[in-house]
Amino acid sequence: MTIQEQYELLEKTVRGYNPAADFAQIRAAFEFADKAHDGQKRKSGEPYIIHPLAVAQIVAEELKLDSESIEAALLHDVIEDTPATHEEVARLFSPTIADLVEGVSKLTRIQYATKEDEQMENLRKMLIAMSKDIRVILIKISDRLHNMRTMEYQSPAKQKQKSLETMEIYAPIAHRLGMQRMKWELEDLSLKYLDPVGYEEIVSKLSVKQKEHDAFMQRTQEQIDSRLNDMGIQHIVYGRVKHPYSIYRKMFNQNKNLGEIFDLFAFRVVVENVGDCYNVLGVIHDIYKPILGRFKDYIGTPKPNGYQSLHTTVMGSDGIPFEVQIRTREMHEIAEYGVAAHWKYKQNGQGAGTEGKYEWVRRLLENQEGADAEDYIHSLKVDMFSDEVFVFTPNGDVQNLPAGATPIDFAYAIHSAVGNRMVGAKVNNRIVTLDHVLKNGDIVEIMTSKNAKGPSRDWMKIAKSSEARSKIRQWFKKERRDENIVNGRSSFEAELKHCGITMREVTDPEVLPTLLKKVSFASLEEMYAAIGYGGFSAQKAVSRMQGELQRAARQRQAEQQALEAAAEPKPKEEPHAAAPKHVKSEQGIIVEGLDNCLVKFSKCCTPVPGDDIVGFITRGYGVSVHRADCPNASLEKRMAPDQSGRWLKVTWGTDTNESYPTILEAVCKDRVNLLLDISAALSTTNTFVLGVNTRSTEDGFAICRLEVRVRDGSQLTALMNKLNQVSGVLKVTRPAG
C-alpha cells in the first residue's frame, strides 16, 4: 500500500464514524508531517511518515477519536524528531493540538543523573499532560502499539528494553483506562521478545489443540445460545481462548503447565439491560455447575476504570471449567475501549468532560511529592498497576486499594487525619493487627484517639499504597524535623564509615557544593531531614557522592605527584640514544614505551582479549588496564589537563594468558529453577565460574552477577548469547565503571 493509499484509508475510516470531522485540517496535518519527516527512514527502511499514519489509523480504527486526536497522532513526532516547534504547530493548527503533541513527546533533550530519574520525569510529564487531557495517553498507547507491532526491525537489546517498558508501564496504563483489547495486544507482543521460548511454547501448544478447542467452544456456545433463545432473551454470545500472556502469567505465578490452567476458555454474553444480566446468570448456573468462590459482581461494584460485568466460573458437561462474562452493550463498549468509549464528538473536537473520572491521575502526582525516582516508579507500579482489593466502611461505602493493602492503607485512604490518629483496627468486627492483609468484601473499621502519638516509622514498611506512605512521610517531615535531622545525620555518617569515607572529605568547602548538586539538596541539613523522614536513603546519598569524592581525591593525588616530579633532579641525557629494543608483553599486554612494568587489570571493567583497551599509570601499582568504553577511562578523563600524561597506549600481545576473570550481570524475571538453568548454560559452554551472586527485587525480578574466567572476547560473546537464551533472562551486560 502506497503512502497516499494509506492516508485515503485513514480518511475513509474517520468518515465511517465521524462524518463531521475537519478533513481539511487532517490533510494539512498529514502534509505537514510528511514534509517535516522528509528523508527520515524507519529501521525497516520505510519512509518515516508510515509510522505517524499507522498511529493515526489505530487512533481512528480502534478508539474512534475526534479530529484533533487524528491530527495530533499524525504530528506526534514532529516536535521531537524534526525542526518543527510547539509554537509553529500551535500557529498552524491549534494550541490544543500543540499541547497534545508535546504531551506525547518524550523529554529527550534533558540529561538525567540516572535512568530512573529520566523514566520518572517522562512519566511525570505524561501524567501531568494526561490529567489535563486524557487524549495524550490514548495517542501515546497507540504510538507504542505500532512500535511493538514493528519491533522485529530493532536490535535484540532494544527489543527487550522497549518490551519491558511496555509491560511495566503502557499495558498497565491501558488496563487502568479499561482498554482491554489494546492491553492484551501490548502484553502479547512484549512477551514475544521478553521470553520468546515461553511465548512460542504457549502459541505452538494452543495451535496443536486449536481444532479441539474450537469444537468445545462451538458446542458450549450452541448450548448457551439455544437456552437463551428459548427464554426469549435478546443476546450475543461468543467464546475465546485466553490470550498468551494471560496464560503465561497464570503458569508463572501458580507454577502450572498449560493443561492445569483452570479457566483457559472464556465466554461472553452481551444483553440489552442489567436485569437480563442477572437472568442470564441464573440460566448459566442452571445449565452448568458453578464453582464455589469464583463469582464476581462487577456490576454492583464496578472496577475503578469503569469496568462492569458479572463473572462466574462453571464446570462444563465435558468436565472442562470455563469462565462466563455477562454484560450489557454499553458495558461491553467500556470493557473493550475504556475511556475512549466515553469520548463524545463535538464540533470543536473537545471531549465531554470525561477527565473528571480520572482524578486518580492527579492523586498519583500529588502522592509522589518529595519521593526520589526509584521510589516513585515503584509506587507508581503498585498504585496504578497492581490488582485491586475492594473493602467497605461500616457505612457500606466502597474503598478500592492495591492488592495486599492493610488497615493503614485504608485509614489514610479515608483521610490523613484518620491515619495519623489511628490506634487500632477491626475487620469484620474483630480486632486485627495493623499488618493484617485485607481481602475483597472485608468491612473495615478504624479506631482513633485524640491522644494518639501519630504514625510509627514502621508503618512505612507495612503500608502498600503510595498515598499512605506519602501522608506518613509528610507527617514526619512536618512534625519531627529536628528528630529527622539527628536520625538522618546518624544514618548518613554510618553509611560513610561503611564506604571508608570521612566526614571531613564531604564537608570540604571545595567539593561540598558539587556534592549537594549530585543529591539535589540545598544544604546537608535538608538532606539529613529527608533521610530522617524516609524521603531519601543514606545509601543513595553516599553512592551519588562517591564518584565525585574519588575524582577530587585523584585530582589531589595527581597534583601532589606533579609537585614531587618537579622537585626531582632530571637525569643527564646520554650522548647517543640506545637502539630500540624488542618489547615483551606482560600478562598478554604490550605497554608502549615501557618494558617489564607491573600490569594489573582494572576491576571496574574487567577487560579480556579482543576488547579495545587503554592504560593508566597508577601510583605504586604499575599500569592499570581499562576497557576503552569504561566510564573511568572516558575521553573526557583522558583529556583532563591533570591526567593526560598518565594515560598510555596499550595493546594485546600474541602471548595472552589462558584465561582472564570478568564479570557479567543478568537481569531476569524471577522464577523457580532460574539459577539452575543459568548454571546449566554456563556448564554447556565449559565456563570456569569464580562466583555467583543473586538478589531478588520486590517487583518480581532477579539480578544475577556472575564472576567467570574466559579465554577471549569471542568466548565471552558466545557465553552472553547462551545466557540470553535462558527462559526469563531479559538482559545480559558487562558492568563498567
SS3 content of the chain, % helix, strand, coil (to 5): 50, 15, 30
C-alpha cell belonging to residue 242? 485466553
Does residue 631 contact residue 602 with C-beta atoms inside 8 Å? no
Q: Which among 61, 81, 121, 548 is annotated as catalytic?
A: 81
Burial class of residue 38, CB neighbours in 10 A (0-12, 13-18, 19+): exposed
Say how far apart CA 359 and CA 390 lie, in whole Å.
18
**Alpha helix locations (H) across 390-523?**
407-414, 416-420, 459-462, 466-479, 481-498, 503-507, 512-519
Return the DSSP state at 547. Answer: H
691's grid cell: 562466583
Paired strand residues for 648: 615
User: CA-to-CA distance for 18 and 435, rounded, in angstroms?
Assistant: 52
DSSP string, 643-671: TGGGEE-EEE-SS--S-EEEEEEEEEE--
**Beta bridge mates, 303:** none
CA distance 462 to 696: 19
Q: CB of 153 within 8 A of CB of 43? A: yes
Residue 670 appears among annotated catalytic residues: no
Q: Which long-range contacts (CB under 8 A, 24 or more apart) does 284-287 make?
A: 284/224, 284/312, 284/314, 284/324, 284/326, 285/312, 285/314, 286/227, 287/223, 287/224, 287/227
Ordered DSSP codes for 74-93: HTTTHHHHSS--HHHHHHHT
**Grid cell 485466553 — which residue?**
242
Of the listed 46, 61, 80, 121, which one is catalytic? Answer: 80
Each residue of 374-411: b (16+ CB within 10 Å) or e? ebbbbbbbbbbbbebbbbbeeeeeebebbeebbbbbbb
* Contact criterion met (CB below 8 Å) for 322 and 266: yes
| 87 vs 93: CA distance, rounded Å | 10
> Which residues, 6 or more positions from 668, have their beta carbon under 8 angstroms from its beta carbon?
674, 678, 701, 702, 703, 704, 726, 728, 729, 730
What is the secondary structure of 655-713 as a DSSP string? Answer: S--S-EEEEEEEEEE--TTHHHHHHHHHHHTTPEEEEEEEEE-TTSEEEEEEEEEESSH
d(CA 68, CA 53): 14
- DSSP per-residue string spanning 199-240: HHHHHHHHHHTHHHHHHHHHHHHHHHHHHHHHHT--EEEEEE
For residues 99 and 79, give the distance between their C-alpha atoms in angstroms, rounded to a whole number: 11
In the block, which residue shows the cell 577530587?
A: 552
Handedness of CA 577, 582, 587, 591 (dihedral sign): positive
Please give the Cα distance from 180 to 382 (Å, whole number).
Answer: 19
3 state SS for 119-149: HHHHHHHHHHHHHHCCHHHHHHHHHHHHHHH
Residue 586 has phi, psi (to 5 degrees) of -120, 115
Exposure string for 92-104, b = 16+ CB within 10 A, e = fewer: ebbebbbbbbbbb
* CA atoms within a 13 Å half-sphere pointing along the CA-CB vector of 283: 22
Residue 214 annotated in active site: no
Write out the catalytic residue numbers. Answer: 80-81
